[in-house]
A and B are shown apart, each in its own frame.
Chain A
């Protein structure tokens, strides 16, 4: 049972890389390198340390933005889910934020906050936060009535209700919001480095494209995808560890 998913994961990776390699060899486009070339470029950047220097820069807005979105997003989501007034006040903002064309907002952000870290953190937050907030709020709003009634009938306080019923019951949806939000945050971090000022991984992508070093460009893109996947796996483990019985859904039926 443990080996099968791992085996399947490796198999699907193999198929993906194989397809990449073939597509690169045909070649699909002059600007599309083979998998092996990209892997070599990735290896070179790892050895000479330029990848780490780049990530030190990229992770700043990414980690800050994701952390803010997680804490603030879950907090606001719970509040919106609990209070009709708050729902009315804030839900529309996040719905708009989720559907707004980000590229169009970036010049406004730069005007307001300059080209530094602040603007980039904002981009990450705009990408990551709405889905976290909206998922959390929806889950909180739909806490099963029967376990809420159970909690009050055994004289649970409002604090008990929140921490022992509402949040654990909402956790599967909160975590799925986090997964989507954090993936979007990764996109936001790279987007901000491409659109605001080229730093970190965004700089590698921009620079190697300008000198037609396509293997390096794809290596950088590939590395950020790998990082995102690793991070999402970690998140899934955390969830499984925290809420063990929850992965089987609800037991009232």
Chain B
């Protein structure tokens, strides 16, 4: 591999942008949560938003989802400005947001139910995604009968079943134990490969961000700006379990920690 090729490989220019935010500002009363946030999310890739607690990651995700209006600035999805929630985006909530009075099947099918899909059809689709996230046999269980990790998978299956092009995931793995978390991260890598969807993924964990992302946006504390964008590409083709031992992986984790530690201290 020549020098130039290696360089190009490390920094591919994303030409197909699924979601972009332009000069987003958001103030809650007197609190300035986001300031002049400009970011681009390439299609078919996973972008992580990584930053300290309270820096406005959830706020940004909700603005992209159309759940919150920005104070100023614009979000576009496939070139069209966002004015509210749309069928092109699906949200995976940090606290699951399941209906306690509905079975797993109805919860997973709920997004389709709201879109007016007929019952038998939506339950077929839901059953397929329940199988895909590994919850077969729990279709008729209620959320309170599931563990935290299982509930999270219900939320994930619900978001997948509406077949939106953009998946917005707010710390989806924060409620599960370390083993499950690793398993979920591997599943997520497979999902990104198979599903040609654009993922926007919020996390606190540097390792997690480096492990799953095609692109990492590092955000600084309030009012939040983008400090750096990193595209770890060298180890993307490797098998899931050898990534954690890859020197580039380890280097990037160290670099990010080095640049963030000044804000923690």
Contact = CB atoms under 8 A, between A and B. Distances in A.
Contacts of B142: 244-245, 248
Nearest to B154: A251
B90 interface: yes
Contacts of B146: 251
Interface in B51-76: 62, 65-67
B100 A155 contact: no
B99 interface: yes
Nearest to B89: A153
Interface stretch (A28-36, A98-106, A143-151, A230-238): A143-151
A151 B101 contact: no
B144 A146 contact: no
Interface residues of A, number: 26
Contacts of A168: 99, 101
Contact of B100 (A150, A151, A249): A249
Interface size classification for chain B = 20 to 34
Q: Which of A164, A169, A248, A251 has the most CB of B within 10 A?
A: A251
A173 to B, nearest CB: 13
A78 to B, nearest CB: 17
Contact of A152 (B85, B93, B102): B85
A251 B97 CA distance: 8
Interface in A146-200: 146-147, 149-157, 160, 164-165, 168-169, 171
Nearest to B141: A245
Contact of B97 (A150, A164, A244, A248): A150
A193 B158 CA distance: 56
18 contacts: A146-B95, A151-B114, A152-B84, A153-B66, A153-B89, A154-B85, A154-B162, A155-B85, A155-B115, A164-B99, A165-B99, A245-B100, A245-B101, A245-B102, A249-B100, A249-B144, A251-B98, A251-B151
Q: Closest 3 interchain pairs by CB?
A: A245-B142, A150-B97, A248-B144
